[in-house]
Amino acid sequence: MREFKNPQNMGRIDDADGVGTVGNPVCGDMLRLFIKVKDDKIVDIKVETFGCVAAIATSSMTTQMAMGMTIEEAKTITRKMVADALDGLPPHKMHCSNLAAEALQKAIEDYESKTQGEKKAEKRP
């Protein structure tokens, strides 16, 4: 509830290095997550969320967890980690936490595909 009332890192980054959009308006949630990367570290992260209380809270929590992590570390963030950090979510709201984690992974993929030419791609199999 605290994360919902005072969500962190909400908004957009205009010159983001990676952007991940996920969601489905049919079920209710849509997220667009922006990352700024320097020396392989996430130095700035912002998210726009159209969704319920759980979606907003998990957006906020995901961005706080990923901030400052290396790309490799950020790849390990799962929806369970996000939900646990929020002291759990009702079962029918678990997919909400999935969205924020998924948006982060997509933003990382987007970043890596953009930087592919510069260094060897570190794509997951």
Partner 1 sequence: MAFLDNASSTRVDERVIEAMLPYFRESYGTAGMELGHSRDVAAMKGLENARKVIAESINADPLTIVFTSGQTESNNLAIQGAALANKDHGKHIITSSIEVMSVLQACKALEKDGFELDILDVDENGLVDVGQLKKKIRKDTILVSIQHANGEIGTVQPIEEIARMTSARGVIFHTDATQSYLKIPVDIQAVPINLMTMDAHVIHGPKGIGALFVRKGTRVERIMEGGDEERRLRPGVQNIPGAVGFAEAVKIWGKDESDNLLSLRHYVEQKMSTTLEDYRVTGHPVKRLPNLFSMVVEQIEGESMLVELDMDGYAISTGSACSSKTLQGSHVLKAIGLRPEIAHGSVRVSLSRFNTKEQIDGFVEALVPIVNRLRQFSPLKRGEYFMAKSEAKHEEQESSSDDDQSLG
| CB-CB neighbours of 71 under 10 Å | 18
| Residues 58, 82, 108, 74, Cα dihedral to 10° | 140
| Residue 125 binding partner 1, by CB under 8 A | no
| Residue 23 binding partner 1, by CB under 8 A | yes
Closer of 37 and 57 to partner 1 (Cβ): 57
CB of 122 to partner 1, least distance (A): 24
Report which residue type is found at 6: N
CB of 24 to partner 1, least distance (A): 5
| Residue 27 binding partner 1, by CB under 8 A | yes
Binding site for partner 1 (CB under 8 A): 4-5, 7, 10-11, 21-32, 47-56, 92, 95
